[in-house]
Structure 1
């Protein structure tokens, strides 16, 4: 994540060493290029995580097959940087999700970043992180990001903010402007942010400024304050209200959750919020799948197990499945299986983004 204050001097960066480290581009998996149905079917006859994944895949297919069900994709963690970016884009492109709740890093530092033409790189070696800092390279486990490219993203976010009327925006409204920008100026067709804009799939980031967007928006605000001008702000309450409006309109809903934390809790809490607003007949999320490596023993599991969420009135327990696995290793199987079973071909397009025009 960007840190302008500790930028190494331009002439102190070893450009040759940096180029060597940033030489192996992460290639995002294409779920259309292989058919995972046979292996998922076979895993369903096994035990442990294999059987959990097979059941989770069946539940996701039920979401897509249920003509009344709207699907909310929930993403936390770094799976986009790790090779699942095109997977998420394909879910939008092929009408397999209807709304998205994600971390700011997923949307900005990873997808919007690549939409501008930048790349993520495989770390073939892990040198001392102080060496990486001297080269202006950021590390996500075994993945590298060029910090100079990331700062280009920060400044682009500031430029978008500067172009808008100085008023409150939900993260959904601001991300829509980011999608519009990529549609007009982007370097990558298969961008989640761009495709979500074009397909009217709203994206919410309840902790939006906890990402490169934060630096760009702070710059926007400080520059406007210095100039004595008004500035745009993000309205977190509008985020909650708008996603709750989607839940109320959708009725039957299913959650496909990668990771957990704030995005997971935010998506689940819409049921309780709808009740607070007087919609006592609102349904709990009927379907729910979570892929996570989080544990339950600290009382969290990255924002509770799905069965625990039932006690809060958020998720029904009949059609839920926890999959305890690192998501990049199992999500491509689930998504490929669902793509090739083809229930998305007959789904009605929700276009929830049009609700806010």
Structure 2
């Protein structure tokens, strides 16, 4: 048995220096973060590995918008799977809105003041009013060209019609990185789409996404799924790879527990029983807040890659 090596915290340490010290300890959450960071770096470096990144929870309003956008811009994401809410919040910022910090007040009072709360961050209803106006104009332009469209193509069209160079949708469209949002209707964007269809003809073809997605799965020699949070995006990332016996590697960052049998808290090893992860696949689960863990993981992986150039 190997002895645990205690971490040494020195002056002027880089993020990778700290993560490497965690790796020398090698146990509990510190050990898992180190393993996940190196797995992410190895997956990015391997030209034969496609990275499926899934996002659940308020990651865009929670400060990770640029982290995700930069990964796409730098060619480190091959497929993005996300909730409709993260797409909505990306568009809110693209249309000039923001997400805000503040002091928590009574939630009924917040509602009366036109404020919405997500934990300790806030949104303004006036920003969503701008979103509603802008997205309706975009929907009209899409409906002029197509009456039936897959969700992936729908998001690609939106990305091409916005001008915000910092937008996840915009950058993904420019890089031709597909975005899949199987639960898109469960969002403000989905609500606006439904309202638009009351007087206009525009239909989303959810099944249509599977044609391209299955081609990507079969066309990829290896797949690493990086799952931020759980829910539908996590399952879509794993289940799409069921077609070819499961993912070759997986990183999961979650705070959900496994006792209730929920997918969000399910250990990645459980996916092997469904052939959503291959036998012998490299799987790492890090328990923690994605807004803390993932930026550290990305910073460490980038440092590893840059040192080897």
> Which of 247, 262, 276 is equivalent to 1:314?
276
- Match of residue 23 from structure 1: none
> Which of 112, 116, 120 is equivalent to 2:95?
116
TM-score by length of 2: 0.90
1:80 aligns with 2:80: no
> Which of 189, 205, 209 is equivalent to 1:239?
209
Residues 239 and 293 (structure 1), Cα distance of their counterparts in 2 relative to 1, 3 Å cut: same
1:191-236 C-alpha deviation (Å, 9 max, x unpaired):
2111111111111100111111112211210122xxxxxx111111
Residues 102 and 345 (structure 1), Cα distance of their counterparts in 2 relative to 1, 3 Å cut: farther
For residues 1-357 of structure 1, the aligned pairs below 5 Å read 35-46=14-25, 47-108=27-88, 110-123=89-102, 125-164=103-142, 165-182=145-162, 185-186=163-164, 189-224=165-200, 231-272=201-242, 274=243, 282-302=244-264, 304-316=266-278, 317-342=280-305
How far apart are residue 155 of structure 1 and its match? 2.9
For 1:314 and 1:201, the matched residues in 2 are separated by 22
CA contact (8 A) 1:94 1:344 kept: no
Q: Which has the higher contact order (CA 8 A, sep 6+)?
A: 1
1:34-69 C-alpha deviation (Å, 9 max, x unpaired):
952111111112331111111111111121122210
Task: Name the SS for the 2:208 alignment partner.
Answer: helix
For 1:143 and 1:49, the matched residues in 2 are separated by 27
For 2:232 and 2:306, the matched residues in 1 are separated by 30
CA contact (8 A) 1:91 1:97 kept: yes
TM-score by length of 1: 0.78
Task: Name the SS for the 1:45 alignment partner.
Answer: helix
Unaligned runs of 5+ in 2: 1-12
Aligned residues: 293
For 1:269 and 1:195, the matched residues in 2 are separated by 26
Unaligned runs of 5+ in 1: 1-33, 225-230, 275-281, 347-357
1:160-219 C-alpha deviation (Å, 9 max, x unpaired):
22112342211111111111112xx33xx2221111111111111001111111122112
CA contact (8 A) 1:262 1:303 kept: no
For 1:155 and 1:218, the matched residues in 2 are separated by 14
Residues 314 and 303 (structure 1), Cα distance of their counterparts in 2 relative to 1, 3 Å cut: farther
CA contact (8 A) 2:69 2:166 kept: yes
